[in-house]
Chain A
Amino acid sequence: MIGSFQVAGNLFPELTRLQQQLEELFQPAGTAGIRSVAWGAFPAVNVGSTADSVEVIAFAPGIDPKEIEITVDRGLLSLSGERRTDASQGQQAADTYAQERFTGKFRRVISLPEDADPAKVEAKFRDGVLHVTVAKKESSKPRQISVS
């Protein structure tokens, strides 16, 4: 084997990844608008909805939360920032065997549902996960109408 560190089962995770990418490619994207079609980009994003809010979960490990810029404009939530390479890692390394992790600037745009309220956005960051909560407009919340 070449190199002193063999990546066992390297092929299978790669195949799984490929399969996921293909699945994603052929799956109708629920919330993708014309400006938000970037699949497989960094950070990976999950979007969920409840009766009161739209929850956007961005998987952004290794990023300083202060450096993430979050904006809401015309129903688009945009997340941008930069992930830098670890300086301690690059300097003294003689050989690099794998470099799968994303580095550099990123920007992801997520189109929010129409009933999202751009004035009520909250963001939390924990363990490399950015959690953005966008409240829904009062008028669009489900109401129960009682029959008198």
Chain B
Amino acid sequence: MSDNRNVTERDQTANVTQTGQTRNMPKQALAPAVDIAESESGITLVADMPGVAKDRLTIKVEGDNLTIEGQAQVDVPENIELLHSEVRSPYFRRSFTLSRDLDPAKIEATLKDGVLQMHIPKSEEARPKRIDVKVG
């Protein structure tokens, strides 16, 4: 018993330190389906997170690690009995490793109708440049 409690407490502390917030995400979470595309300006990441409202979405960048987390909320009657379920967890989580040419400080994110769209720009130095060749 006391061992269990210790583990829980330690986990919570670890979470608080790592994420800088108190909301704990359970270990079991669904990986949202994503589209990832690159253009000259940066990378666009689109993730399906149905039922996730803005205040229940967390985007974290720790070092080169980008994590998106969200909790879906669906208002159902209290005494509901589940007959059929394809979505087994209300939690979404997925992590990505950012490469050095990306600028995590300038990530833009929008959330609309359960779709998270992020743009991760490339740092200025990493953008392709055209070099004019002078005719000598």
Contacts and interface: CB of A to CB of B under 8 A. Distances in A.
A44 B113 CA distance: 15
B37 A97 contact: yes
Contact of B86 (A9, A13, A45, A64): A45
Contacts of A14: 31
A71 interface: no
Contact of B34 (A3, A50, A94, A100): A100
Contact of B96 (A8, A52, A61, A110): A8
B17 interface: no
A1 B64 CA distance: 15
B94 A129 contact: no
Nearest to B94: A13
A98 B84 contact: no
A93 interface: yes
Interface string B89-129: 00000111111011000000000111101000000000000
Interface in A63-104: 63-64, 86, 89-90, 92-102
A96 B74 CA distance: 32
A4 interface: yes
B84 A30 contact: yes
Most B CB within 10 A of own CB, among A1, A5, A94, A98: A5
Interface in B39-93: 39-41, 43-44, 46, 48-53, 65, 72-77, 79-88
A127 B94 contact: no
Interface of B: 30-31, 33-41, 43-44, 46, 48-53, 65, 72-77, 79-88, 94-99, 101-102, 112-115, 117
